[in-house]
Structure 1
Amino acid sequence: MEPLLLGRGLIVYLMFLLLKFSKAIEIPSSVQQVPTIIKQSKVQVAFPFDEYFQIECEAKGNPEPTFSWTKDGNPFYFTDHRII
């Protein structure tokens, strides 16, 4: 049983050494990166007419991603308070 613990201890020690001497890779800002969605709302959102709801999306990439919302294939404008 002792050699197994010694082996695990050695592996843990080697991992700590590796992490201690490793450095994070810094990606230059000139390199383009595909957008990655970090947070998003459910695919379909349905609420009663008088209930508050929040639609959210968070993504990262280079260039910085932009978002647009659509309803039935048409742009959805949040400033239009009419029910559509």
Structure 2
Amino acid sequence: MQLKIMPKKKRLSAGRVPLILFLCQMISALDVPLDLVQPPTITQQSPKDYIIDPRENIVIQCEAKGKPPPSFSWTRNGTHFDIDKDPLVTMKAGSGTLVINILSEGKAETYEGVYQCTARNERGAAISNNIVVRPSSKWGLSTHWWIFVKHGSEVRPLLCHPNTIRSR
């Protein structure tokens, strides 16, 4: 903080000096260096309840900002999820977003669980919400039943049970 000493003739009254000091503090507080390091903050993440379509790859989103840029890690069901050990799992460059390639050979049920992303740099860490990943029950599966009716017999309405998503 910079304090200016005023000549004796122009010295201000005691009631006004704190105001000038306060203003000097405010002005110096606005002078922030551009290379300031900042802890990470999560900017985007997948919904807390993430229902996956087994006909598509799984994309679990986690984006964060910080200075320096954060590194990312994941937990699955409370334990470290090592993406290097699973050839179907990759992390997008410069991001924490996971892409699980279940279309090549995986099954969606294999990746069901509670995921959490951590973004970390030298100033701290930010943790995403728990993201519950689960496949939809009977997604896209339908069974066709043929019903044969004799001409002139009574026609009864058929009960239809569309695919539904049930919450646990």
TM-score by length of 1: 0.49
TM-score by length of 2: 0.28
Q: Which structure: greater strand fraction?
A: 2
Q: Which structure: greater helix fraction?
A: 1
